[in-house]
Chain A
Amino acid sequence: LWQDHDHDEL
């Protein structure tokens, strides 16, 4: 799994 999500996406 991706380690952290993208805080840019709303």
Chain B
Amino acid sequence: MNIFRLLGDLSHLLAIIILLVKIWKTRSCAGISGKSQILFAVVYTSRYLDLINAFISPYNTIMKIVFLAASYGTIYLMYMKFKATYDVNHDTFRIEFLIAPAAVLALIVNHAFEPLEILWTFSIYLESVAILPQLFLVSKTGEAESITSHYLFMLGSYRALYIFNWIYRYYAENHYDLIAIVAGIVQTVLYCDFFYLYITKVLKGKKLQLPA
């Protein structure tokens, strides 16, 4: 564990909490992509199957359980409790176009051709593009609430901080995992355009509005 890893995990946790609190307090999930949330639930489920066979630390176990629970909790709020506020008409990204390529790639490029390892690899590939339905929703409506922007910023920061963690680990521990690194860079790059808008608009108190 290094400072980048810890800060990455904490911003990931904060992103998830921001989203849950936003939905709960406003009693609405307007502007949030249920498709992205489903993809994240698939990501955590396929990745954290190692809860069964690999105990690392209490921190590790607790965080994995929290991510799983928060992810399914978000889906419950969006598709059950506050279903009436769900922006279904704008959330039209076809997630099979992300799931299928991630699955095929996981079968081809992986560390070991074993069920758990392939599922882990699939989760890494899928996570790298899981935010696309959310970004697509923002681009379709042309705007995002500030709180949604904060959520996206924390979520993007998480993977960006993980890149620093990997650089640190490469030099300090001689450890590197090319699958995670390449997918993590792809994931972070997808947020770059958003980061720019966040810094130039949201942080100056303006609403995130895309140019017409």
- A residues near B, CB below 8 A? 1-10
Contact = CB atoms under 8 A, between A and B. Distances in A.
Given A6-B175, A10-B12, A1 B111 contact: yes
Contacts of A3: 111-112
Nearest to B124: A5
Contacts of A10: 9, 12, 60, 63-64, 67
Interface in B157-178: 162, 165, 175-178
A7 B56 CA distance: 7
A9 to B, nearest CB: 7
Interface residues of B, number: 24
B111 A2 contact: yes
B56 A1 contact: no
B50 interface: yes
Ranked 6 nearest A-B pairs via Cβ = A7-B54, A2-B177, A8-B56, A7-B50, A5-B177, A10-B63
19 contacts: A2-B178, A3-B111, A3-B112, A4-B112, A5-B111, A5-B117, A5-B120, A5-B177, A5-B179, A6-B175, A7-B54, A8-B1, A9-B5, A9-B162, A9-B165, A10-B9, A10-B12, A10-B60, A10-B64
B116 to A, nearest CB: 10
A4 B60 CA distance: 18
A10 B4 CA distance: 13
